[in-house]
Chain A
Amino acid sequence: EVQLVESGGGLVQPGGSLRLSCAASGFTFTSSWMTWVRQAPGKGLEWVANIKQDGNEKYYVDSVKGRFTISRDNAKNSLYLQMNSLRAEDTAVYFCARGNGFNIYWGQGTLVTVSS
C-alpha cells in the first residue's frame, strides 16, 4: 500500500524558515518523481514544486522560486521542502504527492501557518 506521510508543519513567524518532510513507503521511491502541492485555507490547489528521481531536475512555481528548495534522500525514501523567508501567503496545507504530472497518491498534508 502506498503511503505518504508529511511532517514538519507548524506556526512560524514571517521571515522564518521551516523544513517539511514526506516519508514514502509502499512503492519504489527511487523510480518516482515527487511533488509538493499546497492549499491555503478555503482556497484551491496550488502546485509548488517537483523533483526528478535522481534529484537532478527540479521545478518551482514562480511565487516560491529563490525561497523554497525541494530535495530528496533516496536512501531514506524521503522528500523534503525547505521553506525560507516565509510570508503570510505561504500559509497552507502542504501535500506531498507521487508522480510528475497527474497524481494518484497524496499524503494527508501538514499545515504551515505563517503569522506573528
Chain B
Amino acid sequence: DIQMTQSPSSLSASVGDRVTITCRASQGISNYLAWYQQKPGKVPKLLIYAASTLQSGVPSRFSGSGSGTDFTLTISSLQPEDVATYYCQKYNSAPVTFGGGTKVEIK
C-alpha cells in the first residue's frame, strides 16, 4: 500500500507568514491528492483536490501544488482562523490513505 508522509508534524508561525506543508507519497499517485483542514472538535473540511484545485468557498490564500510523489500545501498569509490540523489524502486507488497531519499554530 502507498504511504503518505507529511512534514512537519507541527509548526508555529506568525500572522501574515507564508506557511508550507509537504506530503510525500511512497509511490507515484499522479495528481490524486487532496488536502483537508480540521479544527479541534470539528469535521474535516476539504480545501484542495486534484493536487491544486481549490474547493469552492476556500480562501485564495490556500494553494496546492505537486504531482507524482511530492506535494505542497501553501498558506500565503497565515490568519488566526487557520489554526488547525492539516491532512493530505491520496485517492488514486484503494486503500485511500491520509498523511499523519500537520498541526499549525500561531506564534
In the complex, chain B residues whose CB is within 8 Å of the CB of A103 = 44, 46
Chain A's nearest CB lies how many Å from the CB of B71? 13
Among A37, A59, A95, the residue within 8 A (CB) of B94 is: A59
A77 to chain B, nearest CB (A): 20
> A36 CB to closest chain B CB, in angstroms?
11
Query: Which residue among A37, A103, A104, A108 has the maximum number of chain B CB atoms within 10 Å of its CB?
Result: A103
Cα A46 to Cα B34 with chains together (Å): 14
Digitize A76-103: 1 where CB-to-B-CB distance is under 8 Å, 0 elsewhere. Answer: 0000000000000000000100001111
Residues in chain A near residue B55, CB distance under 8 A? 104
Docked complex Cα distance between A86 and B40 (Å):
26
CA distance A61 to B1 in the complex (A): 10
Given known pairs A44-B87, A107-B43, the reply for A102 and B49 (CB within 8 Å) is yes
Name the residue of chain A whose CB is nearest to the CB of B56.
Answer: A104
Q: Is the CB of A45 within 8 A of B34?
A: no
The residues of A that contact B100 with a CB separation of less than 8 Å are: 44
The residue on B at minimum CB distance from A58 is B94
- The answer to whether B44 and A101 have CB atoms under 8 Å apart is no
Chain A residues near B (Cβ < 8 Å): 35, 37, 44-47, 50, 59-62, 95, 100-104, 106-109
Give 14 pairs: A residue, B residue, CB < 8 Å, sorted on A: A44-B100, A45-B87, A47-B97, A50-B96, A62-B95, A95-B44, A101-B32, A101-B34, A102-B49, A102-B91, A103-B44, A104-B46, A106-B43, A106-B44
